[in-house]
Amino acid sequence: MNSNEDSKNLFSKLTRAPWFLGILIGFLAALLQALLISGGGPEAYGFCVACHTRDFINDVFNEITGQSLGLAPISKNAATAVLTMIGVMIGAFISAKYYKEFKLKKGTPRSYLLYFLGGIAVLVFALLLGGCPYRAALRAGYGGIVAIFGILAMAAGVFVGTKVVLWKMKQEAV
Amino acid sequence: MIAEGWLTAEQAYWAIPVFTLILGLLIGFLAQRSGFCSIGGMRDLFLFKHTRLFFGYLSLIGSAFISYAIFASVLMPDAFPNWPWFGTQDSVFTPIPGAPGGLQNTDYIILAVIGGFMMGLLGVLLGGCPLRQTVMGFEGNLKSIFFIVGMCVGAILFHAYISPWVVSLF
């Protein structure tokens, strides 16, 4: 194996390693705050699926309807709201297409309704916690004690959820 | 205290959309490659004792802790005026802003526990955290596309109705 192939393998391994992305997000969130905090807070806001979606959607909604739904100062003070989630969508799409992993998977109308309502509920609960699991992790890393309660509660919720899933599987097997 | 970063407010005006877009592209690409998921990580740990995804979430918490510490204490203290958060506030339980404003610290702990628990429960039942759903949607999963649309509607509903209602409860 030559060194070119070695580096290709390393790249492929790293991109597939969740721990690598975890470390990268933590570092980039701190770097972004060091760069951009003059534009507005809050702190520990580098990456958040729920809040950054909220910022973008509410900004567009306010623009169209003339209302003033809440969004973070960093999104109010800039040319546009944070575009993180637009980036995630494009990035995931490019990756799925490039590696030929894009596959159209349809569901039933009932499942669409369930996921739609689930999306509403998950975003609402995330904003009650003050961020999705990722911003909760950033807040915990920043020294926010309340976020640690949120993460522990999330683990409890996941634990109960796995019990529900196991119970359902048993019901279906009988 | 007013925080000051490496860029001025005028520079940040354009840098915010550009940098967050680049950040998102990078995270979206790597999340698609690795299947990164916080709730999925906990689920795999509890169900199968698989630690691959769980270590992703743990490494994020660890990396955030170390990165914030290095940036705040050495590289750019002015950009991190309230670091470490628990040491700079009136109470160690003061939350970092994000949840609805103007409540007591104990109320925020209650909201965090309810929000966290329900997010974990629903996340398992629907097969992934908000990030994983977003990525799955753009891998072609139409159910996840409906989840994303739900999140967008939820954002508007939350700020128009739910947040004022929750604040009125306390």
pLDDT in the model for residue A106: 96
Q: Quick one: CA dihedral A40, A42, A46, A47, positive or negative? A: negative
User: Buried b / exposed e across A7-40, counting CB within 10 Å, b at 16+?
Assistant: eeeeeeeebebbbbbbbbbbbbbbbbbbbbbbbb
Percent of chain B with pLDDT over 90: 86
B146-161 pLDDT per residue, tens: 999 999 999 999 999 9
- A152 vs B contacts (CB less than 8 Å): 116
- Give residue A1's pLDDT: 53
How does DSSP classify residue B79?
Answer: G
User: What percentage of chain B exceeds 70 in pLDDT?
Assistant: 99
Closest residue in B to A123 (Cα) is B151
Question: Per-residue DSSP letters for chain A?
Answer: --HHHHHHHHHHHHHT-HHHHHHHHHHHHHHHHHHHGGG---SS-S--HHHHHHHHHHHHHHHHH-------HHHHSSSSS--HHHHHHHHHHHHHHHTT----B---HHHHHHHHHHHHHHHHHHHHHTS-HHHHHHHHHHT-HHHHHHHHHHHHHHHHHHHHHHHHHHHHH-
Contacts of B73 (CB under 8 A, 6+ apart): B83
Note whether A43 contacts B8, CB cutoff 8 Å: no
Q: What value does the mean pLDDT of chain A take? A: 94
Q: Measured between CB atoms, which of B71, B85, B121 is closest to A30? A: B71
CA-nearest residue to B89 within chain A is A144
Using the Cβ of A41 and the Cβ atoms of chain B, whether some distance falls under 8 Å is answered with: yes
Asked if B63 and A155 come within 8 Å (Cβ–Cβ), the reply is no
What percent of chain A stands above pLDDT 90? 87
Helix (H, G, I), strand (E, B) or coil at B141: strand
pLDDT of A17 strictly over 90 = yes
Residues of chain A contacting residue B103, judged by C-beta atoms under 8 Å apart: none
Give A1 to chain B, closest Cα distance, Å. Answer: 24
Q: Provide the whole-model pTM.
A: 0.94
How many CB atoms within 10 Å of residue B95? 25
Mean pLDDT for B60-88 is 94
| Model confidence pLDDT, tens digit, residues B1-53 | 568 899 999 999 999 999 999 999 999 999 999 999 999 999 999 999 999 99
| Nearest CA-CA partner of A133 in B159, B139, B102, B119 | B119
The answer to whether A73 contacts chain B (CB < 8 Å) is: no
Confidence of residue B165 (pLDDT cuts 50, 70, 90): very high
Res A120 pLDDT > 60: yes
